Amino acid sequence: MLPFLAPALAVPPPALFLAACLAFYVLRSGVLRPYLKFIWHCFLRPIGAADQKARLEKFYRGQADVYDATRDKLLRGRNTMLSLSAAHLNSIRAADPGKRLVWIDIGGGTGHNIELMNKHMPILESFDAVYLIDLCEPLLDIARKRFAQQGLTNVHVLCQDASEFRLPEWTKGNDPKGSVGFVTLSYSLSMIPSFYTVLDRIEHVLCPKDGLLSVVDFYTAGKQPSLHEKAIGGASKECGWLSRWFWQIWFDFDHVSLSPARRSYLEYKFGTIKSFNGRNRFILPFIVRIPYYIWLGVPRSCDVSRACHAFEVEGGNLIGNCSPAPPKAAKEAEELVPSLQLGPPALQEEGGVAIDITPPFSSFHYHLNKFWRLPYYEQPVHKEFRTFIYSFTWEDPFEDMRHLELSSQDSMFVITSAGDNALHYAVASSPQRIHCVDMNPCQGHLMELKLAGIQCLDYDDFFALFGKGRHANFRALLDSKLAPYLSSSAYQFWRINAQSFSSSFYLRGYSGWALRLAGFIFRVAGVSKDIQALCNADTLEQQSEIWRKKLRPVLLNPIVVALLKNPVFCWNALGVPLNQRKMLLDEGNIYEFIRDTLDPLVSTYLLKTGNYFYLLALLGHYTPESCPEYLTRSGFVALKANNGQALDAFRLHTDSIVNVLRGLSDWSLTRALIMDHLDWFAPGSSDIDEEPRKPWYNANFERRGFQVTALGVRKGDKGPALDRVNMYASFWRAVKI
């Protein structure tokens, strides 16, 4: 024996004995038997070139009994597809609970999908009839035994060609058009040669009003050649060239086609309501990444009038960013003023279109329930936003309500941000329309999630998400309850970011970095207990004393001041752009800004019951006693009442302010809140009066016929606080005269 090999072979005898025993047990118990059969029939045994039925039977006959055990990890997404389908079917049936529901599972094989669906929707109670259609008898034999054992008497197994399937209930001479409510294709579309015929037949028999088609399958896709395909296909659809060609060739040996044609025709033939692209990390997660997709859709004729009414008529651009590219920042700020066509409620008319170009009908994402989000095309500017900047809103809506005099007849225009303030206006006054606008698509995704949560969740689950900022079962809620009320783009975002609620939601997003930093500083300074004491103080005197003695020296030290002055940190953590930062520094320094902001607050508003803004910043979550109005039980109940009637006012736009305003008809708005939006732009001309605390853009409003009045100007560290945030130098109202 070579000396350098001796250490490697010097295995203790007990270890060899245990290894031998383990190997003997594995071989004796047959644990590997299903996988050995799977490898033989899938990768080694030749299939031959017979017809489709003969090939399937030869391929599956020897492995039918181990099919389900060996496909659990390979065929990902089936449970998600069925959970999403059940949620959408339940939301559809809520409007017509007595309607007959028939489900066809095409290529269902062993019946695993039907057994799995029984966990989401009881088969016997939910469906009048279920039909499993497959061309492979060895797999169908497994299905028949399975359903007999489970007593599923309404499930029928049919051995038929998918392109010619016919149900026993379709009597001779009767057209089956529109008689089916639900169809699924689970890893079968890629195996059907005549897929055009199959999809055409499904389109014919699927109910045109509320039929649902659900698909999960492998796929490959190159670069999307058009914005339309990108809008429908969703995030992460594109596959790398090596992955694309390797998997197409690999699956082609088993007569499984991963070419893009099947999915393209599917998305052309039906309207997309949900789309998700995943990667199956099978066996070797960093090497084997098989692309798969989950897709839910409806017939093109599915309530077209409602979809067009919501997307093409009611306020705002036809499909988001079809408008010409927005002008430069200063020019856009200048154009914003004449675009604000404010008029009295009596003159309101929702309507108008942004442009004359009508996008292809296939580009729309369909909604089965609430039409909150206007569809949009992804533009280069959207890629600048990896996630939401604001997980909460810093502006004080109570101050807005003091001066807006909102009523149910008003039509509003607001910046989306985190949606807290827009929801506050809906609780307080229930305006007839609230246009929420943001260039960051992720802010729209967040707003959609809040609207969906109010619509379909109970208060405890909703407060866990957005009050406590964490929910152990968010992923289950997303698929089983929230999804039917989300646009496809919003669902994709939250499906990818499902971990956002695993610890603390408010530590996510750009603003979450500021809260993380604050927590780190407090821990290093050893004042964590003082933070808790400040947030639990029962009187302003107690609160002021803790602030003055313990926390003020920490936040007003030179290191923190220097960090807050850094432009990179200002944008990435606080969401303060360069121009707004410059305005702040022109009026003083960072030390004075922090001092003038915080000193008046602690002696005016009690964090425990009245100032939820800084309570969240300090604790990382809200409490039932100190939270935005939509998170209070009474506010939640008000928004949820009458099937969420107050929520019907919302229209969410993913575009620039100017582009959206161009799409609104004249005098259609009565109230507009642009928060600090104009601070983001540089002054448009040098002759504007730059008096301290009077914004340069006020003169633009005055030249356009607005009367501009100061409603509040911050007085410095001696107070009083301008509002419960007290970050802004002034608060102005412009009235069209």
Tens of pLDDT, residues 613-645 = 999 989 999 999 999 999 999 999 999 999 999
- Which residue blocks in 343-500 are alpha helix, DSSP H? 397-404, 420-429, 441-456, 459-466, 474-477, 488-496
CA distance 315 to 425: 19
DSSP 499: G
Q: Which of 211-220, 237-246, 275-284 has the highest mean pLDDT?
A: 211-220
Question: What are the pLDDT digits (tens) for 448-471?
Answer: 999 999 999 999 999 999 999 999
Q: Which two tokens stand for residue 615?
A: 């309570």
pLDDT at 599: 86
Residue 89 has pLDDT above 80, yes or no: yes
Q: How far apart are CA 257 and CA 609, in angstroms?
A: 61
- Please check the confidence at residue 522 and state whether its pLDDT lies above 50: yes
pLDDT score recorded for residue 608: 94
Across the range 139-152, mean pLDDT stands at 93
Dihedral over alpha carbons 150, 154, 160, 162 (to 10 degrees): -100
359 vs 634, which has greater pLDDT?
A: 634
Rounded distance between C-alpha atoms, residue 229 and residue 232, angstroms: 5
Lowest mean pLDDT among 7-11, 216-220, 238-242: 7-11
The pLDDT assigned to 723 comes to 86
Looking at residue 403, its pLDDT comes to 87
The C-alpha atoms of residue 73 and residue 58 are separated, in whole angstroms, by 23
Q: What per-residue confidence (pLDDT) applies to 109?
A: 87
**Residue 160, exposed/middle/buried by CB under 10 A (0-12, 13-18, 19+)?**
middle
Q: Among the ranges 11-15, 120-124, 139-143, which has the highest mean pLDDT value?
A: 120-124
pLDDT for the residue 260: 92
pLDDT the model gives residue 584: 53
Q: Is pLDDT larger for residue 328 or for residue 587?
A: 587
Q: Which of 186-195, 277-286, 350-359, 657-666 has the lowest mean pLDDT?
A: 350-359
Amino acid at 521: I
pTM score of the predicted model = 0.82
Percentage of the chain modeled with pLDDT above 90: 43
Q: Which domains does the chain have, with CATH numbers?
A: 3-50 (no CATH), 67-302 (3.40.50.150), 327-467+470-503+628-682 (no CATH)
Average pLDDT over residues 707-713: 79
Residue 272, SS3 per DSSP: strand
**Mean pLDDT across the chain:** 78
